[in-house]
Structure 1
């Protein structure tokens, strides 16, 4: 199948060049004023068959590549100049047309001195990278997601997960406020690209840091989408319905009404093609995971979903934003989702022991039904110029039913244990809480006081009915158990900060943080007799556990603000305590850490910055790690907790270097991080002597036990980079990117200390081709490797590699026809033979746009034509190497109809079509009526 890739690339380029020669002429010209040529001026061409917008080059030239009509109107806009409008009547030929030079006249109401600059596509400011939307061409009707795919340093996978500068984006805001509680795909896949002014990628340290300027801790990567001023008053939305073979269907509605600061949005979908409307704080991808960069998945590009399993989804959501008077801003959302998901998984797990490898092979079918409700509300009250208050209550409720069926085979040193596991779990988990932030600015410049607090209460209940059977040779051991779990948690956090200026550019901050967590876990274990079906409560296997984790942090920071740089350095004293009790057993652990903090930003020049950040954090043990009673719910892996565990303490250092050159358009984004954890909670695994044929003989055992303990020596390093270079006015863009992660994992195997040195790296390259009215295509290649070496000589080292080649794009024919295509070839090496696969994924569609101004479209889609869509994942941790293959949505065809409407009040900025930065047939701006 790999031979199909170069053939398809050649075929697409061939038909693109053939289309470029079809009827339709090139129209060129120049724009100047009395002083010379003018760059960055907007030129718009409109006719009965064309609607195109471009911007003049650095030499003041513009070009329309395929104008069909012989009669058209040219409109030229420029800040500080009178608008130029002229109609042209040409012959019926196809020869290129060179228009007479267009000279603009200064606007008399403007100042005599007017500075004209070309569009600056990227602006870098400390913790923010801002992309000018008009510099990146997208087809009319495109969503924000299509715009993101063209931004240097930003990538979007098949399921809409966004990665920016090497880190996954966790939240999206619109005009600075959360949109649907920050769900990433909800915003990027539903907001139209032609209303966007710019997109900001922000390292966010939290609301309090934004108010005080004191930035500590590890920031979140978020997006802020700024809407054009001319698009903040109007209505827009679209509706899609579709049906296909294998009973595939989709229905989707998006409706928005904006009036400056008032925003109302309604989203709804019903489908069985693995499309999510809301992710409820989780990633949209189901492609497997792993800890701290130790996971490698076979990649595939957009067009076939990388979400594991098959999902039937019903979702509905409402987003609200408004100003209550001049001082109060409110915004919030409600989301509902009803999902049914079926997942089939084949996995091979190697448990490495000095006395022999324990091999687990599993075939699992899981059917999960969940219902989610989520409500989130924010109120910001600007009491006056000195006082600010923000209140954020939230509530969520989740209920689920899970049916899991597993057929497994465990083998070790010639002994084989086969078994089945059938379980039904019902559960629910309500969660509620509130955050409050108050800030006061004193009259003395720089003096500031802020206080914040949060409370969160959660409860989760689950009832498990599990029927477990194992067979070694002819001996069958049945196990039927019921496990009822009730877990409640109360979390309280309070933070106070006071800043005092001690110079013109220097500030001293004192802060205090109190954090309290109380957890109660009741785990009741019942055994059901397989013959009499009598249920017996087993106290020795049940757990009633309560523990409290308390942290007090006393901090002092010095902040300096200079023209070229700013910094924050400080020291935190952090005592912690962990107290718990279970079955009349009590434990108490106290630790004390002195944590330096640092945040440094240096601005070499505009669009050229360097950032350094250091932070320290505590991580408390989980209930599973603390519980005193052994967990026999899986007889093949008996788990023993350790109530004497200490909290982990991590030191984190991150470096970031960003550079953008306005003249060449080159952009470079790099990141480097280091993490070292003290008192790392690790596992000690060993075979157990529970073999029914040879009791007490560990050598023949196919089961293991897991215990927890603290140790030092764990650290990890990670780095990534992305470099992009555009050519020919961004018609072509070449990008290279890569990254590497090294994990020095520590574990104990049969009580002997083992270092698992895991190295994961990848290198990729891609070429984007953006030819107006012809094609919008990306060719990519990526290589990734996952290598693990163990310090214990008898253990087998692991090595897996993946090549991924891709072609993803669209070609435009005539005025209203689009051909979309996506081809991915994945080549895997080193994976287990039971899961190995080298899928070739090909998806395509043909779309016809019609009605006035292309408000309607009909699309015929073909997904995964070769029916090879599978998920392959390798996860490495301690003494385990796990290779997994999971089912994904396979081949199907879908015919869909979409209606798109827009109406904006008043004038609007020139745009539409292929955005302000370019032109393309089928584009165009609309005003005053529905598109």
Structure 2
């Protein structure tokens, strides 16, 4: 790390001097004036970028100078002579504003105009809607914005249905959202305010699509980063949903109920139902949302929150058939000019039934391969209750205090049975081992967390100090009953039978304290210093008892399955950054110094007698210091109609081994895969670099996102695998040389002058170099897997008043080569073709249909299957303002739905298939809630339809 440290110090010293020299060269005109300020929306006070500022001479009415606001709404005009002027502020869709200024000999050389507000022009916006087509997508530096009006969805659709049609956005079967650059969405905001905390599904699966104006994918800094200006190394990517202006005048929402049945062998036991409703009141300052959802059609209305024990043993497999119930209340209020509050209460329950089969190939030396076939079925019941809040208090204009408490309690009951066989060299070769098991796990857990951020501005130039603290505690416990039988066939037959009951108690406490200081060293140049210390303690207690056939109870402590551990980790982070914020570019350069202390041990609790433990592993405390340079450079180009920006980032990150990876004592919980830790492990260090380019042409409605990412891992922690006598042994070791890179290109534009025919292409190229080790017959050898991936998606859509159609084709290609010569390349393809359409017919009828063909090639035997999924619905709107709606929905008409996936590693590949909810029909009735200031208003329903 020493060369990176020296390089960072040189840049750290050189860039400030260069920037100050450039500034001095432009400030020689002592008789000239400088005018600056900020432009914001008069409604929600958000800072406005690309506002045009014109400086006009009052006597001659001639234009003297001009500029645009930057991403923070800031502008600056330099070298202005004495005189009388007016400043004109203009932006499309807003009323223009003017301000007269007099520059006299007695005036200050630097004039701060403060905040200038612009009010939306409703008339102008309506005119634009009539004469121009709405652009599908716009790109602005750290934001990608989609216009909902450009993507028609079926009547009664929710936000998730809308998002599935957005270019560059992927929504999987479980509702997980991934952006064009590969980021996973973990939070959704509504009109810039948090909506049900860290549960994006509550928004995407419950809010109606017809209330959405725009969907914005935003690279959001943390609250502390926003307060201090010290940006996060890896900012969170969120989605912000903006609500149509006409729907902010009262209550809006929807109530829906439907019932149906499976189309294949329909019966009372195969009936399908959905009951859901939401009522929302959105305004510029306040929000209130009530949500309820119950169904058995796999529409999980929230994220499953399982505790650590249920996730580790017997948790949700994913997929399958799910029944779920969700109830929630979310509120955001501006209580007064000093205090804002956001909070939510949620309860969710799910019943998940999964059948799964897996085919895994393990590659070893000397042309040795094992084939593992497994089948499992599980039933998982989970429920969770949570409360979250955030209070933001500003006692004055200089101080901000944010308090964030949360509480959750969850429980789960899981039943699982599985059977597996492992064969040598071929699918029907010699059997190495076989096993079956039945598990029953009951667990519950409680989490409590709170955070406090205090920040105070010390000077108008940007001097700021902040103090942040947080505390988290969790307690989880569970009881696991396991009945299993394992037979190992090589070199001789050995049989192991278990009938056990285990008790697990896991506790975790974490506290964090952070101090940040920002010092302005010149105009637009800042020096940031921060110190952070975090202390984490974890205790995992496990006791396993064998069944005594004489006493008919679980009474004999089995030490082999009763390993417990505790761990203490103290992490410090010292960070120094130099930051520049200029109209055309910004950069952030610094270094992190991170001392770490780890003290851990493993033991068997109460082995000899109550209160007397047997220590298995108690090493000396480990200490380490890691250095991580940071660089972020952002350059802005373009004008009012064309926006461009280029951004380069580099950061380094350290990952410490866990206590299980350190502990050299064997973990024999799974008799076929014995895991052993490695006390000589070192921390891994990952170098991350990225280059991004964004382009947006407003008038021609063309947008482009291009990015390239690269990461290299030093001392990567990988599993060293050996296979002896029918048993797999796994131990973590350090290797260097693993790396991966990927590039993304997303382009969207119109193909015709009327801009009704839209084209999108999304290309993703990837390459991964992965190192693994394997051993057979006590000999080890390195195996490097090199995986190339290509994903290409083409989309064509057409939209007018009565018709919407979107065609999309996708190809996913993967090829893996191995350094061991006897291993064959593994190549697979996945093809998708889809078409969805919506017809708006007379008499308030609507027909929608989507059909998707999927084909898998190159997978294991029995997994190369094709499917054609066809869904369709017909709807009729009626009642005053078309508030009522009757819908007949057909899901998976051709009865072909599959759930197939592939996973590739350095010395294995695995194909899996889970059960799926196939064809059913559903007849439903829904009623739209539309009111103004609490009173029903029939015309509001018609107005909403016109807005679409």
- TM-score w.r.t. the length of structure 1 is 0.78
Residue of structure 1 in register with 2:326 after alignment: 315
1:151 Cα deviation from its structure 2 partner:
4.6
Out of 490-499 and 222-231, give the one that drifted further. 222-231
1:162 Cα deviation from its structure 2 partner:
3.2
Quick one: distance in 2 between partners of 1:730 and 1:432? 52
Residue of structure 1 in register with 2:634 after alignment: 601
Q: Deviations over 1:890-928 (max 9, x none)?
A: 1111111111111134999xx99999xxxxxx93269xx
Residue of structure 2 in register with 1:23 after alignment: none
1:345 Cα deviation from its structure 2 partner:
0.5
Closer/same/farther in 2, CA of residues 894 and 887 from structure 1, 3 Å limit = same
Quick one: distance in 1 between partners of 2:576 and 2:940? 51
User: 1:779 aligned to 2:807?
Assistant: yes
Closer/same/farther in 2, CA of residues 136 and 378 from structure 1, 3 Å limit = same
Residue of structure 2 in register with 1:347 after alignment: 358
Residue of structure 1 in register with 2:218 after alignment: 202
Choose from 693, 697, 705 the match for 1:661. Answer: 697
User: 1:552 aligned to 2:572?
Assistant: yes
1:388 Cα deviation from its structure 2 partner:
0.2
User: 1:568 aligned to 2:580?
Assistant: no
Residue of structure 1 in register with 2:248 after alignment: 232
SS of the counterpart of 2:596?
strand
1:178 Cα deviation from its structure 2 partner:
0.8
Quick one: distance in 2 between partners of 1:860 and 1:672? 45
User: 1:678 aligned to 2:742?
Assistant: no
Quick one: distance in 1 between partners of 2:164 and 2:430? 52
User: 1:621 aligned to 2:657?
Assistant: yes
1:342 Cα deviation from its structure 2 partner:
0.5
User: 1:129 aligned to 2:165?
Assistant: no
Out of 608-617 and 158-167, give the one that drifted further. 158-167
Residue of structure 2 in register with 1:291 after alignment: none
Residue of structure 1 in register with 2:22 after alignment: none
Are the counterparts in 1 of residues 159 and 209 from structure 2 also a CA contact under 8 Å? Answer: yes
Residue of structure 2 in register with 1:811 after alignment: 839
Are the counterparts in 1 of residues 154 and 848 from structure 2 also a CA contact under 8 Å? Answer: no
Residue of structure 1 in register with 2:794 after alignment: 765
User: 1:467 aligned to 2:483?
Assistant: yes
Residue of structure 1 in register with 2:743 after alignment: 719
1:850 Cα deviation from its structure 2 partner:
1.5
Out of 898-907 and 513-522, give the one that drifted further. 898-907
Residue of structure 1 in register with 2:529 after alignment: 510
Residue of structure 2 in register with 1:396 after alignment: 408
Are the counterparts in 2 of residues 687 and 704 from structure 1 also a CA contact under 8 Å? Answer: yes
Gaps of 5+ in 2: 1-91, 97-120, 262-269, 307-316, 604-614
Q: Deviations over 1:306-357 (max 9, x none)?
A: 9710011111111112222221111111111111110011110111111521
Quick one: distance in 2 between partners of 1:712 and 1:734? 43
Are the counterparts in 2 of residues 639 and 705 from structure 1 also a CA contact under 8 Å? Answer: yes
Q: Deviations over 1:130-182 (max 9, x none)?
A: 44556666677654445545555444455544333323322111222210114
SS of the counterpart of 2:203?
helix
Quick one: distance in 2 between partners of 1:477 and 1:600? 60
1:772 Cα deviation from its structure 2 partner:
1.5
Closer/same/farther in 2, CA of residues 873 and 138 from structure 1, 3 Å limit = closer
1:278 Cα deviation from its structure 2 partner:
1.3
Q: Deviations over 1:841-875 (max 9, x none)?
A: 11211112111221111111111122221111111
1:200 Cα deviation from its structure 2 partner:
2.6
Quick one: distance in 1 between partners of 2:932 and 2:174? 31
Residue of structure 1 in register with 2:59 after alignment: none
Quick one: distance in 1 between partners of 2:930 and 2:853? 39
Are the counterparts in 1 of residues 252 and 279 from structure 2 also a CA contact under 8 Å? Answer: yes
Counterparts in 2 of 1:101-116, with a 5 A limit?
A: none
SS of the counterpart of 2:337?
coil
Residue of structure 1 in register with 2:767 after alignment: 742
SS of the counterpart of 2:418?
strand
Choose from 275, 286, 296 the match for 1:262. Answer: 286
User: 1:523 aligned to 2:542?
Assistant: yes
Quick one: distance in 2 between partners of 1:332 and 1:272? 28
Are the counterparts in 2 of residues 860 and 895 from structure 1 also a CA contact under 8 Å? Answer: yes
SS of the counterpart of 1:185?
helix
Are the counterparts in 1 of residues 222 and 232 from structure 2 also a CA contact under 8 Å? Answer: no
Q: Deviations over 1:665-709 (max 9, x none)?
A: 1111122211222222110111123xxxxxxxxxxx2x2111112
Are the counterparts in 1 of residues 152 and 804 from structure 2 also a CA contact under 8 Å? Answer: no
Quick one: distance in 2 between partners of 1:880 and 1:364? 20
Quick one: distance in 2 between partners of 1:279 and 1:560? 40
- TM-score w.r.t. the length of structure 2 is 0.77
Quick one: distance in 2 between partners of 1:705 and 1:784? 34
Residue of structure 2 in register with 1:338 after alignment: 349
User: 1:497 aligned to 2:516?
Assistant: yes
Q: Deviations over 1:461-494 (max 9, x none)?
A: 2222111113467875422233322221111222
SS of the counterpart of 1:168?
coil
Closer/same/farther in 2, CA of residues 525 and 408 from structure 1, 3 Å limit = same
Quick one: distance in 1 between partners of 2:405 and 2:934? 37
Quick one: distance in 1 between partners of 2:173 and 2:912? 20
Counterparts in 2 of 1:128-527, with a 5 A limit?
A: 128-131=143-146, 143-145=158-160, 147-149=162-164, 151-157=166-172, 160-166=175-181, 167-245=183-261, 246-280=270-304, 308-355=319-366, 356-413=368-425, 414-416=429-431, 417-471=433-487, 476-527=495-546
SS of the counterpart of 2:863?
coil
Closer/same/farther in 2, CA of residues 635 and 280 from structure 1, 3 Å limit = closer
User: 1:538 aligned to 2:558?
Assistant: yes
Counterparts in 2 of 1:840-859, with a 5 A limit?
A: 840-859=868-887
Quick one: distance in 2 between partners of 1:679 and 1:556? 26
Residue of structure 1 in register with 2:863 after alignment: 835
Quick one: distance in 2 between partners of 1:146 and 1:211? 35
SS of the counterpart of 1:208?
helix
Quick one: distance in 2 between partners of 1:461 and 1:672? 44
Are the counterparts in 1 of residues 324 and 349 from structure 2 also a CA contact under 8 Å? Answer: yes
SS of the counterpart of 1:924?
helix
Residue of structure 2 in register with 1:69 after alignment: none
Closer/same/farther in 2, CA of residues 675 and 234 from structure 1, 3 Å limit = same
Gaps of 5+ in 1: 1-76, 82-109, 283-305, 690-700, 916-921, 927-931
Are the counterparts in 2 of residues 514 and 551 from structure 1 also a CA contact under 8 Å? Answer: yes
SS of the counterpart of 1:191?
coil
SS of the counterpart of 2:197?
helix
1:455 Cα deviation from its structure 2 partner:
1.2
1:189 Cα deviation from its structure 2 partner:
3.6
Quick one: distance in 2 between partners of 1:914 and 1:754? 65
Residue of structure 2 in register with 1:753 after alignment: 782
Closer/same/farther in 2, CA of residues 135 and 836 from structure 1, 3 Å limit = closer
Residue of structure 1 in register with 2:69 after alignment: none
Are the counterparts in 2 of residues 612 and 656 from structure 1 also a CA contact under 8 Å? Answer: yes
1:771 Cα deviation from its structure 2 partner:
2.5
Q: Deviations over 1:352-399 (max 9, x none)?
A: 111521211011101111111121111000111000000100111221
Bigger relative CO (Cα 8 Å, ≥ 6 apart): 1
User: 1:924 aligned to 2:946?
Assistant: yes
Quick one: distance in 1 between partners of 2:841 and 2:947? 20
